[in-house]
A and B are shown apart, each in its own frame.
Chain A
Amino acid sequence: MQHTGPSETLRAEPRPGASVEARDEGGALVLRLAGRLDAAGTARVWGASEDALRGLGERRLVLDLTGVEYADGAGIALLFDCVQRAERKGGGAELRGASDEVRGQLELHDPDVWCGGPQPGREHAGLVVEVGHASVTAWTEARDLITFTGAVASALLFALRHPRQVRWRDVVRVSEKAGVNALPIIAIIGSLMGLILAFQSAIPMKKFGADLFVADLVAISLLRELGPLMTAIVLCGRSGSAFAAELGTMKVNEEVDALATMGLEPVRFLVVPRIIAAVVTTPMLAVFANLCGLVGGAIVFLSFGHPLVAYYRQVQGAVTHVDLLGGIFKAFVFGIIVAAVGCARGLQTGHGASAVGHSTTRAVVSGILLIVIADMAFALLYYALDI
């Protein structure tokens, strides 16, 4: 190889490994690579090679590989990148002095075959396409929800007509996990809720000398609203997510498909026991939350210097069995929502571990949203019925 003398870019790496040197030779740019072009060596010379090629213009590029001892995938990527840049500028490129090993690597990776042509990039959809996709997704989800609701209603009717077909052992197991095991958290949150309500209401009420009515406020708030709502939200985060994760993992592991092919309807086999368990345990947990909240309120009431009997009479006078039953009915409906949404999201799980996490998140988010919407509907209904 004849050298016409260095005339421009000269970059040599001081560190051992790989080096690159550029010089002009008879109107062509010669890039002399040397050393080990492995991941570490290539990383060192990549930037220098790019710098050298900036001044290439329309000249031909000659990649002199005489000094290259070794090249792996990273080294071949560098060679290909240089060739591609030279061809884009119009001067073309040639390789010179490649060892058999480097040639083997080049032939195997064969960038002309594997990487030829422009790399396909992600297409950015326009607004209309995005809106279209979102609409189709929303419609599909709505249709799935209606289908699922129908399947669940049908399975529950079947369970009512054939109670012996229900997997009661699963119902007991789920009731224990979702209900009994939730008692401590419900007790803590319920009693704290009663304490907070009493303390927060005590200040304005004292101003009017009405601190006796703190008991009324706590009782009405808890029994009609906060007891069932708080219980449902806790259950949604605790059990709805567990249902989604459990069923989602079964879906990913093809266990749901196995059930279906064994002739076991997944909704009847997996969803019905969970809904029955939630329907039974949620109202009971709501009553328990009410009791704990009333105890919390009583503690604050006593701290104001009032006797416990006054608290009892105030509560007795403030709420009736209609308030209690209204709250219990709400908890009943919330229980259905928590279990049904958790199971639906679980059965809608796609593929892979990330899909399970996605389903779990969706179960909690849409569960809480539906609970609040249902609560608003109850508020309107109770108002209209003057309950």
Chain B
Amino acid sequence: MSAEGTTPKDEGRDVVIRARGLAVGYGKTVVQRDLDFDVYRGEVFVLLGGSGCGKSTVLKTMIGLLVPLDGTLELTGASFVGADAKERARLLRKIGVTYQSGALFGSMTILENVSLALQEFTDLPAEAIDLVARMKLGLVGLRGSEDKLPAELSGGMRKRAAIARAMAMDPEVLFLDEPQAGLDPVTSAELDHLVQSLVRDLGMTFVIVTHEMASVFAIADRVLFLDKDRRTAVAIGNPHDLARDSEDPMVKSFFHREPLSEGRPA
């Protein structure tokens, strides 16, 4: 499969990510299989499921860190599989990723963290890079913290700085791995508002791995529910619809915060 391609359409909507028969895992260990889903441009798509079900593995496969064990996975009609270095670099320019820990470079200031990709991949003059980086930091509410080191920021500020860094190159899709982990409800809600405004005003697409149900109901257009035992997706759709209509016991217990069955931990 080539990395080149055109963005497919589905009922008039741009499909940014398309998975068909996708199996993900490590080596010979299949964590999730038979995954069929599309992520549309401008939507917030959430990967949901219990701990250890493989959400982060699916995410890592989507961003090209892991190779699919089976099936196809396309990002704007192209694939990381078989892509040469140039094509891979072009695909990587379309995505931004934030990791659970923030993964900011500890020896650099926040401004330098955000500026890094602009310095490496664009021909913008230094003053333009400085301005863009400051604006991205302003966008996530970190004005005044530009010269601080990551260690000097709170957990919530580090998460926001990581989002600013991921947005530095104005990617088409932002992948957020557990963005709310360790955040208080207020900071978590602020992060939700940020995501909503980026989707509304910039038409950005988000793929988010989270356990935070309040956030899922607030921002998710659709969720893909992954089950650990069955090793595949058991539901896909709007979270409110799934919470109301799904008959799957795992989905129901997850959305309603109930134990799965007596004697078995939820």
Contacts and interface: CB of A to CB of B under 8 A. Distances in A.
A85 B137 CA distance: 22
Contacts of B135: 73, 76-77, 80, 109, 111, 114-115
Interface in B82-136: 106-107, 118, 121-125, 127-128, 131-132, 134-136
DSSP majority for the B interface?
helix
B58 interface: no
Given A73-B170, A74-B170, A115-B134, A81 B128 contact: yes
Given A122-B147, A352-B149, A43 B138 contact: no
A108 B124 contact: no
Contacts of A108: 139, 197-198, 201-202
B151 interface: yes
A81 B138 contact: no
Contacts of A77: 128, 131-132, 135
Interface string B181-198: 000000000000000011
A159 interface: no
Given A73-B167, A104-B202, A355-B106, A78 B128 contact: yes
A352 B107 contact: yes
Given A72-B170, A353-B107, A39 B134 contact: no
A247 to B, nearest CB: 18
A68 to B, nearest CB: 15
Interface string A69-93: 0001110111011000000000000
B138 A114 contact: yes
A354 B106 contact: yes
B155 to A, nearest CB: 12
Contact of B132 (A40, A47, A73, A354): A73
A4 to B, nearest CB: 30
Given A74-B132, A81-B131, A352 B170 contact: no
A257 to B, nearest CB: 15
Interface string A176-204: 00000000000000000000000000000
Given A81-B127, A352-B107, 15 more contacts: A39-B124, A42-B128, A72-B170, A73-B132, A73-B136, A74-B122, A77-B135, A80-B131, A114-B137, A115-B131, A115-B134, A115-B138, A120-B147, A352-B149, A354-B107
Interface of A: 38-40, 42-44, 46-47, 72-74, 76-78, 80-81, 104-105, 107-111, 113-115, 119-120, 122, 350-355
29 contacts: A39-B122, A39-B169, A43-B123, A43-B125, A44-B123, A72-B170, A73-B136, A74-B128, A77-B128, A77-B132, A81-B128, A104-B202, A107-B201, A108-B139, A108-B198, A108-B201, A109-B139, A111-B138, A114-B138, A115-B134, A115-B138, A120-B144, A120-B146, A120-B147, A350-B151, A352-B149, A352-B150, A352-B151, A355-B151
